[in-house]
Amino acid sequence: MASKTNGSLTESPQRGPPKLYPQPTPYNIQLSPSETPGRTHVEELSHESAEKVSELLMLNHVQHHTLFDEVGFHNHIVHHLLTLWALGATPSEIQAAYDLNKPYQFLTQHHATSVSVKLKEPEFFNECLGKPKFYGDFLKFFQDKIAEHGVPNVVNEYIFKGDGRADNLFGRMHSGILHPLIHLGIALEFHQPCLVAESLAAACIHDDWPVLFLLPAEKFFQSNPETQSECLLSIIDDLRNDPIVSNAVKPSDPPNKIRHGLLKRASKELIPHLAKFQVSPTPQDLAKKTVETIQVSAYLCGAAQNPDKVEAIDFIMMHMTTLSIFYPTFMEQDWISNENKKRMLEWKGRSDAVIYAGCGCPRLYAERIINYTPKRPQDGWQEVIQRANRYADDGHTSKLIRALLNAGNISEPILNAPGLPLNKGDFFKIAHMVIDAVERMLQPGYYKMTERVRKIYAVGRGQHDEVVRIFARWVRWCGLEGAWDDVPDLEEKAGEMPRIAARL
């Protein structure tokens, strides 16, 4: 099962005779092996899987809200099933993923059509922002807008126009650990206008707290044009060495530790660091910074380990990696101006830096990647992808594996990001690390409701068991005290590599 990352949509080898498919529309989701394989996908995508994904995504679209919890946990069905599709999952694997995650979803509230019509009024539109109960209304509003004006015009108007409304919505795109922007990326990658409408509606009902650092970083650079541009890893080093930033977040902070910890205590100190990540609106620099953000996000995800614990992946930091796969798609859209592409990349790099700081500026151990010995070293990409396709979760595993596949593929013809201590093959080692770490949940007796998980995520909230497993599967806020308490200790044996020194 070969894989490839396409610069443009090309005919993919497929099983069975040619088949005609309905076109995707603002009201209909439709996949096909030849027209919508995705940018990073395996060969031999099947008609049967295309039909299954299309069917289930339409069910999800009609029935389910983008959130399944009043706290703001996300419905990942769209991201999950499209990732499985691109990775060659069978119809039964796709159905199993849907069946596993459907039971805990919230149903979309449907109001009278007059509500979505009234959203045309700017004052009412603004009143509804940040309120999840209006998701269905925003969805209908953007479906109708796209049907009338097309995806490019609507996205440019509501996200990239540069006025107050667009800047606010663009900031909301980065809320919820980047989920609305992930949704937009996957919608554009697979050419689904209906999912673009979902992404815009999702942005509208998220909070706008990311504008508290994204817009000030821009204004700081405008007021201090002498600020020197630095590579992303250099900025990461600076954050780690800034005592106010690196100690801003506390384990006792509320669940959104970036908003209620980092930005509360270190916003003033944080902004000058963020302003150092700068992009020029030239094709050359856009390409270079795209690769840099992809590779650095993957490195941060894999290298943020604990020297006393077995390898595990931080749930918060992984989202910078799963978002990174969509930036080549963003950069290929000829209807997004180079100035807006520059802004997208700057906001991506700055968001990644903020996520890193929000996780307590964890030390990075490059050697944990470079020297990693997989549980099944004979497995190539094909086998790792198959393990991810069959893994029963909410999609975070397969999404991360596909993003790492992209990170390895995209390293050519551009060389490594500045300061990156990895080679192309090391991204595959991170993929092994990911699948090995989550498969520990399959070991008899490994999964248990710890007091930490019970206290933070389950008691009093009536969470579905599969949701609790999501929390138990990953580390969270990995640089903070206590974050690794539930992860097995690293057994050091005679003759094995010595304790690994931190990069930072």
84-136 pLDDT, tens per residue? 999 999 999 999 999 999 998 988 888 999 999 999 999 999 999 999 999 99
**Domain identity same for 194 and 241:** no
Same domain, 306 and 183: no
Q: Are residues 158 and 223 in the same domain?
A: no
Task: Examine the fold and report which residue of 150, 179, 206 is the final residue of a domain before the chain moves on.
Answer: 206
- Report yes or no: 457 and 227 within 8 Å, Cβ to Cβ: no
Q: Please check whether residue 492 lies inside any domain of the structure.
A: no
Question: Which of the four pLDDT bands, split at 50, 70 and 90, describes residue 454?
Answer: low
- How many domains would you assign to the chain? 2
pLDDT digits (tens, 9 = 90+) for 483-495: 999 999 998 433 3
Cα separation, 172 vs 480, whole angstroms: 26
Tens-place pLDDT, residues 198-254: 999 999 999 999 999 999 999 999 999 999 999 999 999 999 999 999 999 999 999
- Give the whole-angstrom CA distance, residue 200 versus residue 7: 25
| Residue where a domain terminates, one of 176, 191, 206 | 206
- Distance, CA of 430 to CA of 424 (rounded, Å): 11
Q: Phi/psi of residue 76, each to 5°?
A: -105, 10
Tell whether 485 is covered by a domain: no
Look up residue 418 and give its amino acid: P
Residue 491, in any domain of the structure? no
- 323, pLDDT greater than 80: yes
Residue 302 belongs to a domain: yes
Q: How far is Cα 24 from Cα 164, in angstroms, rounded to an integer?
A: 31
Q: Amino acid letter at 426?
A: D
Indicate the residue among 206, 231, 254 that finishes a domain: 206
- Indicate whether 218 and 145 sit together in one domain: no
Q: Which pTM does this prediction carry?
A: 0.92
Average pLDDT (18-23) is 75
Task: Tell me if 498 is assigned to some domain.
Answer: no
Confidence (pLDDT) at 445: 73
Residue with tokens 């993923």: 97
Cβ neighbours of residue 208 closer than 8 Å, sequence gap 6 or more:
129, 130, 168, 171, 172, 175
218 and 189 co-located in one domain: no
pLDDT value of residue 9: 27
Same-domain status, 194 and 159:
yes
404 assigned to some structural domain = yes
Domain that holds residue 299: 213-473
At residue 236, the pLDDT reads: 98
162 and 240 inside one domain:
no
Residue 342: count of CB within 10 angstroms of its CB: 18
- The predicted pLDDT at position 10 comes to 29
Residue 418 has what pLDDT? Answer: 83
Buried b (16+ CB within 10 A) or exposed e, 209-239: bbbbbbbbbbebbeeeeeeeebbbbebbbbb
Per-residue confidence (pLDDT) for residue 450, from 0 to 100: 64
Give the pLDDT confidence of 350-403 residue by residue, as tens digits.
999 999 999 999 999 999 999 999 999 999 999 999 999 999 999 999 999 999
Q: How do beta strands 45-46 and 14-15 pair?
A: parallel
What per-residue confidence (pLDDT) applies to 146? 98
Residue 130, Ramachandran bin (φ over 0: left; ψ between -120 and 50: alpha; else beta): left
Asked if the structure places residue 501 within a domain, the reply is no
Name the pLDDT band for 6 (thresholds 50, 70, 90).
Answer: very low
Q: What is the mean pLDDT of the chain?
A: 90
CB 296 within 8 A of CB 471: no
Same domain, 152 and 227: no
Does 343 have pLDDT greater than 50? yes
Which residues sit opposite 45 in a β-bridge?
14
pLDDT given at position 455: 59
Within this chain, do residues 12 and 156 fall inside the same structural domain, yes or no? yes
Do 62 and 184 sit in the same domain of this protein? yes
Please tell me whether residues 166 and 225 are part of one structural domain.
Answer: no
247 and 326 share one domain: yes
Above pLDDT 70, what percent of the chain? 88
